[in-house]
Structure 1
Amino acid sequence: MTDVDAKLAELEARIEALEGRRHPEDPARGFIEYHGNVDFGGELNWTIRYSAASVLQLPASIRVEVLAALGHPVRHALVQALLDGPRTGIELAEAVGLTSTGQLYHHVRALSSANIIEQHSRGTYHIPPPKIVPVLVLMTAAADIGNLLQSG
């Protein structure tokens, strides 16, 4: 091997090491990132990036509460209805086929407690704009996990 070949091999190894390196926050575990640019009553741009190791350190109780709130079919339907914009309690109940305000407020309380929806004005609910892309990501990820979407 000539001196030039040795230097070339060394440079190739250094480039491979640099290009193969994962996110600097945690080179061993990598990172998770999601982003979106959507128009749900106004253009929203959202990007978030965490090291994979830090995701595992997020409080489990908060994650579980959000997933449980979205995991109920009625609550999922309420969220889908609110993606079209703010709605009154009566409009939400009609949209998802609830016959009592007690049923509605039970589900609204779970979604509010999980910080997914907020009361916009007296009797009107909405999904806060910074939550829309994360909610859509969760819906997409759930479909992906359930094999409804095919990556690639």
Structure 2
Amino acid sequence: MNDEYDARLADLEARVHALEAARPAESPTADVGESLGQIGYQGTVDLGGEIQWTIRYDAGATLDLSPTAVSNVLAALGHPTRLEIVRTLLRGPSGAAELQTAVGLSSPGQLYHHLRALGGARIVEQESRNHYRIAAAKVVPLLVITLAAADVGEHPL
């Protein structure tokens, strides 16, 4: 197995373990002892080794998440080219030239414009000069966001 993928896999496993070990936060919108329920996601992904995960949060607490943080991520993903960049990077890190070709952009300036938006939303990281990646801990949530958006838009798999 490739050292880069081993590191990504280990990072993802550690973060998932930490999330699973954490108790869901109490919702400030619920009365003491009253729960609005749980929201979560689960699945299996193979990133050079099979990972199974289950992540759950208090449903009421999700209603109190920062609207700015959530809307920044959704806005960054809301552009078709940016979504295609993310899909490409979910398959593995890539250089700028490869990304530009993969998403069909005619100039590096267009690519960097989109990468700035994705970086500002903390979706894409610059791993080295002109080389980009998705942090291992963000792979699963980004896959879930994509699927959830398809469900909301009534375009399931």
**TM tier relative to shorter chain:** 0.7 to 0.9
TM-score in terms of structure 2 length: 0.74
Can you give the 5+ residue segments of structure 2 that lack an aligned partner in the other structure?
A: 1-23
Which deviates the most, 43-52 or 96-105?
Answer: 43-52
Structure 2 residue corresponding to 1:87, chosen from 94, 97, 115 = 94
TM-score in terms of structure 1 length: 0.77
Aligned-residue identity in percent? 52
Structure 1 residue corresponding to 2:136, chosen from 126, 129, 138 = 129
Can you give the 5+ residue segments of structure 1 that lack an aligned partner in the other structure?
A: 1-22
Report the structure number with the largest CA radius of gyration.
1
Residue 24 of structure 1 and its aligned partner are, at CA, apart by 9.7
Report the counterpart of residue 84 of structure 2 in structure 1.
77
CA distance in 2, matches of 1:29, 1:139: 25
CA RMSD, 1 decimal: 2.0
Specify whether residues 24 and 90 from structure 1 end up closer, same or farther in structure 2 by C-alpha distance, changes over 3 A only: closer
Kept in 1: contact 2:42–2:55 (CA 8 A):
yes
Secondary structure in structure 2 of the residue aligned to 1:116: coil
Aligned length: 128
Question: Counterparts of 1:102-141 in structure 2 under 5 Å?
Answer: 102-141=109-148
Specify whether residues 42 and 119 from structure 1 end up closer, same or farther in structure 2 by C-alpha distance, changes over 3 A only: farther
Specify whether residues 145 and 41 from structure 1 end up closer, same or farther in structure 2 by C-alpha distance, changes over 3 A only: same
Q: Can you list the C-alpha shifts for 1:92-114, whole angstroms capped at 9, x where unaligned?
A: 00000111111101100111111
- Stretches (4+) displaced over 6 A: none
